[in-house]
Amino acid sequence: MKSTSDELKGYKGLARKKLIEWGVRVWSDVRVINDAGSVFEGVILPRFGYFDDLHLVIKMKNGYNTGIHVNRVKSIKEIGYKKAIYKIPEKEFPHSDTLRNVTLLGTGGTIASRLDYRTGAVIPAFTPGELYGAVPELADICNLKTKKLFGVFSENMAKQEYITLAKTIGEEIAAGADGIVIGHGTDTMGHTAAILSFMVQQSPIPIVIVGSQRSSDRPSSDAALNLIHAVRAAALGDIAEVQICMFGPTSDYYGLLHRGTRCRKMHSSYRSTFRTVGDIPLCMVNKNNFEYLTQDYLPRDTERHVMIYPVFNDRVTILYYYPGMNPDLVDALVEKGYKGIVIAGTGLGHVNKPLYPAIKQAIKQGVHVVMTVQTLWGYVQMYVYDTGRDLLDIGVIPLDNMLPETALMKLCWVLGHTDNHDEVLRLMRHSVNHEITEREPHNGYLILQGGLPEIEKFISSHWK
Amino acid sequence: MEQNINYTEIGLIAGLEVHQQLLTQRKLFCHCPSGLYTKDHDGVVLRHMRPTLSELGEYDGTALMEFKSKKNIIYLLHKNNVCTYEMDDTPPFLMNQKALDVAIEQCLMLGCDIIDEVHVARKQYLDGSIPTGFQRTAIVGVNGRLPFLGRELSITQVSIEEDSCREVSDKGHLIVWRTDRLGIPLIETVTGPDLRTPDEVVEAILLIGRVCRTTGHVRLGLGASRQDINVSVRGGRRVEIKGVPQAWWARRLVHKEAIRQVNLLRLRDELHKRGFRTADDLVIKHTDVTSLFKASQLAFLRTENWDRYIAEENRRPGMELGEGPFCVRAVKLTGLINTLNWPTQPDYSFAHELTGRVRVIAGLDQQPILIHSEKWPNYKGSQRELLRVKEKIGCSSNDSVVIIWGPLNDTLTAAEEIRIRHVDAVNGVPNETRQPFVDGNTDFERILPGPDRMYPDTDSPPISITRQRVKQLRAKLPPPPWEREELYGAVGVPRNTIHFLIRRGDAAIVDKVVGMCGADIRQACFFFGEWLKGMRRDGAAVDTISIERWCDFFKLIAKRPVLWEARKQLVSLIANAPEKTIKQIVKETGLKTKPSGWENLVKKIVENSQLDPNNNSYEKQFRFYMGQILKELRGRVPARSVIAVLQEKLHKRII
Ligand SMILES: [Zn+2]
């Protein structure tokens, strides 16, 4: 038998040579006997590229996978061939005239999916029919339409994707959607929420970004509940802003709607990873109810005309300052043609003195330098110390309590409009949607410190 | 019903899945301490499980059943024994390699072939017993065998896996789990379907227990080992009796399960005779009959009593309580008269099979869970009430009726489950997991899951096990139990003592002190297998004495055998002073030196002691003096030397 590369998917080196010699391939149903007389019956699985070249992986009849060293194989016999074709069952998504219309835009993050149980590959469910099969509760909330825009991991979202997303939102609003949900990987969800807050302004309807921290192939996934919350917020919620909808606590309890410009992923794996920073979230949402936490939001108003500004300059970077940072780093950025630098400074927005000349030179060369704080909470206050005042004199733009990632996205957006320094200064300091706030409420900064008696008392009496 | 059955005739087949926790410092996939149990908690998480689709877009049977039961799941956390991994908020860390070593060692003891590359799988459990919704598990060994009753017991596979949560309570739609046990490494040993009688099952459990404990690297104590017993009879199906805590339970459990399956097969034949051969032949309809019981003597069927019940039981909406208003529902079983009373187990009839499903799947757990026309309760006006129900739902004399009650939605689920259980009855014995009781009876726990619930764990890389690693572990293996039985048996140690030594892991200490410290094998066996029991009973902390200290102790005994006579005093001192060396302890007692002129001491004691004049037989006198003298001289002067001097002295006196 001729073995094409696809038929030996992932096998290389010795293992590949042996498979060819034995005349078996991926998806062959085989009976293997090893040098200890142990019998393994099952299907040969594809092998991940980064695994070694010494083992053959078999999915056994009892569902377990096991790797057999090719040098220990005494005999192998192909009994059959079982190529699997995976498909999520499609059921027609029901339509109801009494329900609102929601459009779900797919970016590649898997909100609903199932695992290919042999290979471990995640197969996304995306069409309304597939989603209905996976999360039937959605049909009670809205009429759902889906559009798959691209299939990228969230870390690969960039300029072109942002622009396409903003334009599509405009189209869907024009087509009469009552709400928009964007399925997104969680890693850069905050970035997308920020840039869309600038590209899409004065939306008449909710624009809700959602994802999951535990993939939906797991029974304990947060995906279905997040999707239900997001679709509810889009169809029935009153907040017509770009917002992130993710778990409030780690319990299956309620979701939080976070303002797109003030939200950040704060834990690499926790379900309740998204937090509004420097302010409070907009709303709590569960399966039956919305509990608005503030009145200060743009309400749903279908009469309002949306403005789409799909511009983006990606020659912008973020410089996370650390003690002893060498000025040639700034020089290099200028040399490479960067047009904007967001500094995440220490304390109230500081960098050390040896950096000043380099920054001064950069600004002179037409690079726009803005200042945020790496503490995430609190304001840039460059008037307090001499060092700060010096930076202001050089022309560094202070961005108050704008989050560093939000500042990055905003500077990309602003530099898509103009290169004029005064104009950049004006636009950066003019708050589009709370990316700079004048007041930080005292409950806008809460990082409870575990271990303290009163905190322990609190967390032991609340669902985490 | 016959209690004596011929197991060969009915084709009884049984196999085991033995779970044994491994003795490691840390858990399997995170760095939390292993084996640290807590009674309270300092954090609570609420979760739900949703089944995931299998290859053909089908849900696994168990998964679907568990989803239907709509459980709210609460996890109790304690920060001393769980981290964010256990609550499924952090992906797994790399597998604990020490645990894997112990697992490989266990596989080798069980005569298994070690897997070359270990792949971690996810085994779905939607009952909430694991917060991820699946158990991480991996096969480490296959194709093992043990000598068993003159033949061989085959070991199909051994897997390493993480232990699950402990159930705290299960009330209506709320199940509460404690997470301390979650993640402790264990091995699951699966035997072939080689067992043919209940006694063989008991023997096999004990044998595997001995083999596992031989290395001393497994956990002991309550819950550290549990077994599932798979039972079927000819024509029946595999039923798993889950979590049998002690081997001897198996005798009754297997017997009664065999009877149950034989009876269910008879019921199937009866149903076929009546023309019920497929699901479509069954006509099972249900009706809301709440109004008929408004003034019933059966309090639990009256609406106002339901309100009181949920208040008393503190059943909260959205937590314990199901959805919908109170409802009494009658399920009409057309043409199925005399099936509810069909005997299944010695104390139960077929109605009990329905009760289990209704309780577990529909979450209706108010006793007696259901009532039915074939054993209608006796109360004032009871027959009249039954007649009214029968009239309302149109029962003929060939029909039966089952009554269930509770929140409306749950009664609908329950009615459907009653139908499904009858469909199963038409097919004979359903694949089930059943919960064991000490009297040998069992109750429904869940539908038996199939291979569809196994998924590869994309969070864990495969682990290659080199032959070198296997070789090194094999070189350190202790002798298997049957070799020890022969060895110890040859010097006259009784079988029970030998098994005790192996089970507790003390056999490893015996081998060491015999092999390396010059101890006598028979003496060591009785010391650890019998004598220490007494000290343990008296509360001495003998189990805290390390193997190294036992070695030192026996080395010293070998040098000065007289110390053996003071072992009680010494062992107690050793247990109480872990910071001191054995030498130090002996030195401090002064036991090492033989006092000069000790013969005079004997003389003095004999001369000065006041004897009870009524108790002056030679034996009594001798025992009395010996006791007095040994208080001073035990461990310093060999008892036989003391005896010689005392005898001489006493003889003189008597003459
Ligand atoms: Zn942990």
Per-residue pLDDT reduced to its tens digit, B456-485: 888 899 999 999 999 999 999 999 999 999
Please state which CATH class domain B279-432 belongs to: alpha beta
Question: Which of B139, B455, B457, B470 to mutate to probe the A interface, most A CBs <10 Å?
Answer: B455
The Å distance, Cα B87 to ligand 1 centre, comes to: 8
DSSP 8-state symbol, B91 = P
Per-residue pLDDT of B114-130, as tens digits, reads 999 999 999 988 889 99
Range of the domain at A387: 316-429
In this prediction, residue B363 carries a pLDDT of 92
Q: Give Cα separations from A295 to A20, A202, A299 (angstroms).
A: 68, 17, 9
The verdict on A197 and A282 lying in the same domain is: yes
**Distance, CA of B436 to CA of B443 (rounded, Å):** 7
Q: Which residue has the higher pLDDT, A178 or B583?
A: A178
Is there a contact between B454 and A63 if contact means CB atoms under 8 Å apart? yes
Per-residue pLDDT of A153-162, as tens digits, reads 778 889 999 9
The Å distance, Cα A250 to ligand 1 centre, comes to: 16
Amino acid identity of A23? G
CA distance B196 to chain A (A): 23
Across residues A90-95, what is the average pLDDT?
80
Q: Which residue has the higher pLDDT, B3 or A148?
A: A148
The verdict on A125 and A75 lying in the same domain is: no
The verdict on A115 and A200 lying in the same domain is: yes
Across residues B560-579, what is the average pLDDT?
88
pLDDT higher than threshold 80 for residue A450 = yes
Amino acid identity of B302? R
Q: Which residue of A has its CA nearest to B450?
A: A62
* A17: CATH: 2.30.30.520
Residue B473: which region, alpha, beta or left (left: phi > 0; alpha: psi -120 to 50)? alpha
Is there a contact between B132 and A72 if contact means CB atoms under 8 Å apart? no
State the pairing for strand pair B151-162/B185-191.
antiparallel
B122 vs A contacts (CB less than 8 Å): 218
CA distance B63 to chain A (A): 9
Per-residue pLDDT of B242-280, as tens digits, reads 999 999 999 999 999 999 999 999 999 999 999 999 999
**Distance, CA of A406 to CA of A276 (rounded, Å):** 12
Quickly count: other Cβ atoms within 10 Å of residue A375's Cβ: 14
pLDDT higher than threshold 60 for residue B655 = no
Peptide bond into A441 cis (omega under 30): no
Q: Is the residue at A434 inside a domain?
A: no
B135 vs A contacts (CB less than 8 Å): none
pLDDT higher than threshold 70 for residue B53 = no
pLDDT higher than threshold 70 for residue A340 = yes
Q: Which residue of A has its CA nearest to B145?
A: A38
Q: Mean pLDDT for chain B?
A: 90
The Å distance, Cα A247 to ligand 1 centre, comes to: 22
Per-residue pLDDT of B68-88, as tens digits, reads 668 899 999 999 999 999 999
The Å distance, Cα B88 to ligand 1 centre, comes to: 10
B406-431 per-residue burial string, b: 16 or more CB within 10 A, e: under 16: bbebbbbbbbbbbbbbbbbbbebbbb
pLDDT band at A37 (very low <50, low <70, confident <90, very high): very high
In this prediction, residue B1 carries a pLDDT of 44
Is there a contact between A251 and B46 if contact means CB atoms under 8 Å apart? yes
The verdict on A369 and A260 lying in the same domain is: no
Per-residue pLDDT of B266-316, as tens digits, reads 999 999 999 999 999 999 999 999 999 998 999 999 999 999 999 999 999
pLDDT band at B240 (very low <50, low <70, confident <90, very high): very high
Across residues B551-565, what is the average pLDDT?
87
**Distance, CA of B413 to CA of B415 (rounded, Å):** 6
- CB burial of residue B243 (10 Å; 0-12, 13-18, 19+): middle
Closest C-alpha among B428, B431, B463, B461 to residue B446:
B431
In this prediction, residue A303 carries a pLDDT of 95
Residue B314: which region, alpha, beta or left (left: phi > 0; alpha: psi -120 to 50)? left
Q: Phi/psi of residue B479, each to 5°?
A: -65, 145
Q: Which residue of B has its CA nearest to A271?
A: B89
pLDDT higher than threshold 60 for residue B573 = yes
Q: What angle do CA B460, B461, B464 make, to 5 degrees?
A: 130
pLDDT higher than threshold 70 for residue B238 = yes
In this prediction, residue B635 carries a pLDDT of 79
In this prediction, residue A1 carries a pLDDT of 44
Structure tokens at A192: 């997308």
In this prediction, residue B611 carries a pLDDT of 63
In this prediction, residue A117 carries a pLDDT of 56
Q: Is the residue at A191 inside a domain?
A: yes
From first CA to last CA, the distance across chain A in angstroms is 58
**Distance, CA of B552 to CA of A272 (rounded, Å):** 55
Is there a contact between B57 and A270 if contact means CB atoms under 8 Å apart? no
3-state secondary structure of B78: coil
Q: Which residue of A has its CA nearest to B466?
A: A69
Q: Is the residue at A461 inside a domain?
A: no
Q: Is the residue at A440 inside a domain?
A: no
A134 vs B contacts (CB less than 8 Å): 53
Catalytic residues of A: 110, 186-187, 265
CA distance B39 to chain A (A): 14
Least confident among A209-223, B353-367, B592-606: B592-606
Which stretch of DSSP H or E encloses residue B312?
A: helix B303-312
Is there a contact between B52 and A114 if contact means CB atoms under 8 Å apart? yes
Look up tokens 């040994």; give the residue. Answer: B630
| DSSP characters over B432-451 | EEEEE-TTS-EEEEEEPP-G
Is there a contact between A64 and B138 if contact means CB atoms under 8 Å apart? yes
pLDDT band at B222 (very low <50, low <70, confident <90, very high): confident
Among A308, A342, A358, give the residue marking a domain's end: A308
Structure tokens at B153: 């017991």
Q: Is the residue at A234 inside a domain?
A: yes
- CB burial of residue B616 (10 Å; 0-12, 13-18, 19+): exposed
Is there a contact between A115 and B458 if contact means CB atoms under 8 Å apart? yes
Q: Is the residue at A459 inside a domain?
A: no
CA distance A421 to chain B (A): 45
**Distance, CA of B532 to CA of B542 (rounded, Å):** 8
Q: Which residue has the higher pLDDT, B593 or A297?
A: A297
The verdict on A128 and A261 lying in the same domain is: yes
The verdict on A168 and A297 lying in the same domain is: yes
Is there a contact between B90 and A117 if contact means CB atoms under 8 Å apart? no
pLDDT higher than threshold 90 for residue A152 = no
Closest C-alpha among A351, A412, A3, A46 to residue A194:
A412
In this prediction, residue B62 carries a pLDDT of 55
In this prediction, residue B613 carries a pLDDT of 60
The verdict on A150 and A285 lying in the same domain is: yes
pLDDT higher than threshold 60 for residue B508 = yes
Is there a contact between B115 and A88 if contact means CB atoms under 8 Å apart? no
Total count of domains within chain A: 3
**Distance, CA of B387 to CA of B289 (rounded, Å):** 12
Closest C-alpha among B35, B12, B31 to residue B23:
B35
The verdict on A187 and A104 lying in the same domain is: yes
From first CA to last CA, the distance across chain B in angstroms is 77
Across residues B177-185, what is the average pLDDT?
97
Q: Which residue of A has its CA nearest to B86?
A: A270
State the pairing for strand pair A28-34/B239-244.
unpaired
The Å distance, Cα B217 to ligand 1 centre, comes to: 21
The Å distance, Cα A214 to ligand 1 centre, comes to: 17
pLDDT higher than threshold 60 for residue A2 = no
Residues 6+ positions from B173 with CB-CB distance below 8 Å:
B69, B70, B71, B72, B319, B320, B321, B322, B363
- Whether the CB-CB separation of A255 and A227 falls below 8 Å is answered with no
Per-residue pLDDT of A341-378, as tens digits, reads 999 999 999 999 999 999 999 999 999 999 999 999 99
* A324: CATH: 3.40.50.40
In this prediction, residue B539 carries a pLDDT of 87
Residues 6+ positions from B539 with CB-CB distance below 8 Å:
none
Query: In residues, how long is chain B?
Result: 655
Residue % of chain B over a pLDDT of 90: 71
**Distance, CA of B228 to CA of B254 (rounded, Å):** 11
State the pairing for strand pair A397-398/B239-244.
unpaired
Quickly count: other Cβ atoms within 10 Å of residue A272's Cβ: 20
- Whether the CB-CB separation of B411 and B301 falls below 8 Å is answered with no
The verdict on A258 and A350 lying in the same domain is: no
DSSP bridge pairs for B46: B74
The verdict on A302 and A377 lying in the same domain is: no
This prediction has a pTM of 0.88
In this prediction, residue B653 carries a pLDDT of 62
In this prediction, residue B440 carries a pLDDT of 94
DSSP bridge pairs for B142: B113, B157
Q: Which residue has the higher pLDDT, A127 or A433?
A: A433
pLDDT band at A136 (very low <50, low <70, confident <90, very high): confident
**Distance, CA of B230 to CA of B18 (rounded, Å):** 11
Q: Is the residue at A284 inside a domain?
A: yes
Is there a contact between B55 and A86 if contact means CB atoms under 8 Å apart? yes
Q: Give Cα separations from A389 to A105, A350, A382, A384, B117 (angstroms).
A: 46, 10, 6, 8, 62
DSSP 8-state symbol, B611 = P
Q: Is the residue at A86 inside a domain?
A: no
Query: In residues, how long is chain A?
Result: 464
CA distance B44 to chain A (A): 5
**Distance, CA of B49 to CA of B57 (rounded, Å):** 18
Residues 6+ positions from A442 with CB-CB distance below 8 Å:
none
The Å distance, Cα B89 to ligand 1 centre, comes to: 10
The verdict on A373 and A302 lying in the same domain is: no
Per-residue pLDDT of B515-528, as tens digits, reads 888 899 999 999 99
Which stretch of DSSP H or E encloses residue B87?
A: none
Per-residue pLDDT of B617-641, as tens digits, reads 777 777 877 887 887 788 788 888 8
Q: Where are the domains of chain B?
A: 7-238, 279-432, 478-589, 598-654
**Distance, CA of B429 to CA of B415 (rounded, Å):** 20
CA distance A144 to chain B (A): 21
CB-defined contacts A:B, below 8 A: 160
The verdict on A105 and A152 lying in the same domain is: yes
pLDDT band at B56 (very low <50, low <70, confident <90, very high): very low
